[in-house]
Amino acid sequence: MHTAPPPKDALDNWLTGYPSEVENFGHLLLEEKAETDPAIGADLVPYFESAHLDARQCFHKLARISIHPDEGDAGCDAHYPGSLPLIARKGLFGEVMSGMVSENYEFIGKHEYLIPVSLFRNHEDAGQYIYTLSRDPTRTREVLGRKGDDFIAIVVDEEGRVTRFIAGEAKWRSIWRQSVVDSVMLGEKIVDPADPNNRIHNGRGVWYEVNRALAVPLGLEQLHAILEECEPNKYARVIASLDRILARRNPDPVERTDLILLAGGSAPTRKAKHSLIPWEAVPEEYTAGRDLQIVELLFSNGDDLINAIYAGLWAREQVLAGV
């Protein structure tokens, strides 16, 4: 289960936030205060360990290896999430940071979000990768992303009822040039059917996915299943509330906030305090009509920071074990 609080002091020392709200649209630009030192990853490690622990337990059990494999043990080269390729870890970084910023910063609606557990155990290809790698260390490859919403957190009232959740998309890019933003949000470019000499976006980007997202997504069912398995007593009221929300007949209502996190490096031409997506009005591409929160997390030395974080996960346990 996820128990670590967000590292507020570390985030305050690292980032400057520029929040705004217009109607049902919240925007938060987070910029590094100085060139990012990968050493700050040590302050983020406890939160990342907490976010990944449930999946680590599941995938290591699947591969029949220890939760903290010793050097020389069978399968010691396969451990989640550190053994995943860098591209996969970049995706995981964005998903974990979605949770961290949701818990640490004030979003549209000023709700207090709770993350009982992260849903990484449902990353099927990551589990297959760890299983295979534990038996054949040469079988490295890229890993397919997890299907469904990248992140889910809930709002729980005093009676234990789930009244709202936040879910959406997290995207990592090494450099966020405007052409990259357009490609991610609007889809890859294709030949215009109406004009073969012109190229247009295919309309299958993040806006497309967010606009068609289910009001009650699979992630809520997955959250319900994990809570029922791991903490049925502690979260009994939340489980019962999710049961009623997920019912096929006469379900309880629940509000959804859509989250879009864009994380990575800033283009050299971008000026300080200038956002990737305009914040002055609700984006015209957003048609779902729900509350929308966009977070832009822009910093340098991203690969080094991500490598430092994932190399540091459970490193203390390895030292104590004499590895």
pLDDT of residue 151: 85
- Give the model's confidence band at 200: pLDDT under 50 very low, under 70 low, under 90 confident, else very high: confident
Residue pLDDT, tens place only, 52-62:
999 999 999 99
**pLDDT at position 73, please?**
66
Which pLDDT belongs to residue 320? Answer: 39
pLDDT score of 127 more than 70? yes
Of the CA atoms within 13 Å of residue 107, those in its CB half-sphere come to 27
Per-position DSSP letters for 52-68, written without gaps between them: HHHHHHHHHHHHT--SS
The pLDDT of residue 72 is: 60
What residues have CB less than 8 Å from 201, skipping those under 6 apart? 182, 183, 186, 187, 188, 189, 190
Q: Which residue has the tokens 């995943």?
A: 84
- Per residue in 84-113, pLDDT (tens digit) is 999 999 999 999 999 999 999 999 999 999
Give me the percent of the chain exceeding a pLDDT of 90.
87
With a CB cutoff of 8 Å and minimum separation 6, the contacts of 150 are 94, 95, 98, 167, 168, 169, 170, 261
The predicted-structure confidence for 177-195, as pLDDT tens digits, reads as follows: 999 999 999 999 999 898 8
Q: Is the pLDDT of residue 323 over 60?
A: no
- The overall longest dimension of the chain from CA atoms, in Å, is 66
Q: Provide the residue ranges of all domains of the chain, joining segments of one domain with +.
A: 8-320
Closest CA to 219 of 132, 321, 301, 148: 148
- H or E element that contains 256: strand 255-266
Asked whether 55 and 143 are in contact (CB, 8 A), the reply is no
Q: Place 321 in a pLDDT band, splitting at 50, 70 and 90.
A: very low
